[in-house]
């Protein structure tokens, strides 16, 4: 079995899933577990972004809106209604509903037009949500944010790890099925040639709006898990930096590949962690963001289609 077939094999992913489930028994260090949890969360977030950018060809500069909604509704529900599973479910459910509604609204308003209108409206809306979160202090705690307690059952880090992993795996397999479904193939056709897709009789705008809703809902679930992992929410969850991060994760890993954004999320999270911790070694590493930028440039030069995209392309060339 060659690497390309391996990539298509469900058994391969199930084996990796199994390994990830037993990982907490091997890696017991809390900080390392926390990084892996963050990789799961940003992996989910990046996959949701990839559904838009990589599969449908829609650029969003405000994908963080949905992430932030999930984080805030979860935080507020757990803070106000008490640290119970019921509050968590209510918070997450409201976050998902709001994300679906906002993505439907933005999609209906802009997806009939050229793709940059979607990018611009999402950028403007993310700014609006950021300001709203800053100003609505009684509810959000403003810039300072607020901390909250987790339900007992997920207070144990291993349990939170398992929860995040379950969501990560379900969302991965769900999106994998979606992108390999008749619907997913139409999304790819839209990315490739929107006018041609229309002339084949597809109502392109419906597909784009549905993709936008699915993507928004998945991003909000990433936000829910993010709030749980930090036990804290502040306006940072609406910051444009996060959208840039998720854009880079997707591009570095390889757009239109699903696995790519996960690899991208892993690399970016590890780079964040290790480069910033190098400050203890030498003062030059206090400016780690410069090294981070250099890393991006190198990846773009040597992996123009992203890591997975470039590897796939090279393998396809070799097999010809």
Partner 1 sequence: MGVIMETKDVTVSFGGHVAVDQVSVQILERKFTSIIGPNGAGKTTFFNLLSGQMKPTNGSIYFKGADVTKRSATERTRLGIGRSFQITNVFPNLTVFENVRLAVQSQAKVRYQMFAHFNQYKQFQEKTDEILALVFLQDKANSLAMNLAHGEKRKLEIAMLLALETELLLLDEPTAGMSLEEVPAIIDVIHEIKQQGNRTIVLIEHKMDMIMGMSDEVLVLYHGELIAKGTPNEIVHNEIVQSAYLGGGG
Contact positions vs partner 1 (CB under 8 A):
177-178, 180-186, 188-189, 192-193, 195-204, 206, 210
DSSP string, 109-173: HHTTS-HHHHHHHHHHHHHHHHHHHHH-HHHH-GGG-EE-PPPGGGTSHHHHHHHHHHHHHHHHH
Q: Residue 60: which of 133, 16, 105, 118 has the closest Cα?
A: 118
From the CB of 316, what's the least distance to partner 1, in Å?
A: 8
Separation of alpha carbons 44 and 218, rounded Å = 7
Question: Nearest approach, Cβ of 249 to partner 1 (angstroms)?
Answer: 22
DSSP labels, 155-210: TSHHHHHHHHHHHHHHHHHHHHHHHTSHHHHHHHHHHH-HHHHHHTT--HHHHHHH
Shortest Cβ 64–partner 1 spacing (Å):
25
DSSP letter at 258 equals S
CB of 207 to partner 1, least distance (A): 8
Tokens of 149: 């307690």
Q: Give the residue with the Cβ less far from partner 1, 137 or 203.
A: 203
> With respect to partner 1, which residue has the nearer C-beta, 62 or 184?
184
Residue 183 Cβ, how far from partner 1 at the closest point, in Å?
4
The CA distance from 81 to 94, in Å, is 13
Comparing CB distances to partner 1, the nearer of 149 and 196 is 196
CB within 8 Å of 319: residues ≥ 6 apart:
2, 4
CA distances from residue 194 to 116, 186, 206, 229 in whole angstroms, order as listed: 14, 10, 13, 39
**Minimum CB distance to partner 1 smaller for 276 or for 313:** 313
Which C-beta is closer to partner 1: that of 85 or that of 200? 200
For the CB of residue 97, give the shortest distance to partner 1 in the complex, in Å. Answer: 19
Identify which of residues 63 and 191 has a Cβ nearer to partner 1 in the complex: 191
Work out how close the CB of 198 gets to partner 1 at its nearest, in angstroms, rounded to a whole number: 5
Distance of alpha carbon 62 from alpha carbon 185, whole angstroms: 25
Instruction: For partner 1, give the closer residue by CB, 8 or 116.
Output: 8
């Amino acid at each position: 079995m060659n690497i390309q077939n391996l990539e298509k094999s469900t058994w391969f992913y199930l084996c990796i899933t199994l390994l990830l489930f037993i990982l907490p028994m091997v890696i017991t260090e809390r900080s390392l577990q926390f990084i892996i949890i963050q990789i799961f969360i940003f992996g989910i977030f990046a996959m949701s972004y990839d559904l838009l950018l990589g599969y449908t060809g829609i650029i969003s500069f405000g994908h963080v809106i949905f992430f932030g909604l999930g984080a805030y509704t979860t935080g507020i529900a757990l803070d106000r209604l008490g640290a119970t599973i019921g509050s968590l479910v209510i918070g997450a459910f409201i976050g998902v509903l709001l994300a679906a509604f906002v993505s439907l609204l933005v999609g209906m308003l802009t997806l009939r037009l050229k793709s940059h209108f979607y990018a611009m409206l999402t950028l403007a809306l993310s700014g609006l949500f950021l300001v709203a979160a800053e100003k609505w202090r009684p509810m959000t705690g403003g810039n300072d944010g607020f901390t909250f307690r987790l339900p007992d059952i997920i207070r144990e880090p291993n349990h939170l790890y398992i929860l995040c992993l379950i969501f990560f795996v379900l969302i991965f397999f769900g999106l994998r099925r979606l992108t390999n479904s008749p619907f997913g193939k139409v999304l790819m056709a839209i990315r490739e040639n929107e006018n041609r897709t229309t002339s084949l009789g597809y109502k392109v705008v419906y597909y784009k709006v549905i993709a936008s809703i699915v993507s928004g809902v998945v991003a909000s679930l990433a936000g829910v898990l993010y709030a749980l992992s930090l036990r804290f929410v502040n306006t940072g969850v609406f910051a444009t930096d996060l959208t840039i991060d998720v854009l880079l994760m997707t591009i570095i890993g390889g757009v239109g590949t699903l696995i790519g954004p996960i690899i991208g999320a892993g690399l970016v999270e590890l780079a964040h962690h290790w480069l910033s911790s190098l400050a203890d070694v030498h003062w030059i590493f206090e400016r780690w963001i410069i090294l981070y930028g250099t890393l991006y440039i190198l990846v773009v030069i040597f992996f123009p289609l992203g890591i997975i995209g470039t590897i796939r392309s090279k393998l396809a060339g070799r097999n010809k």
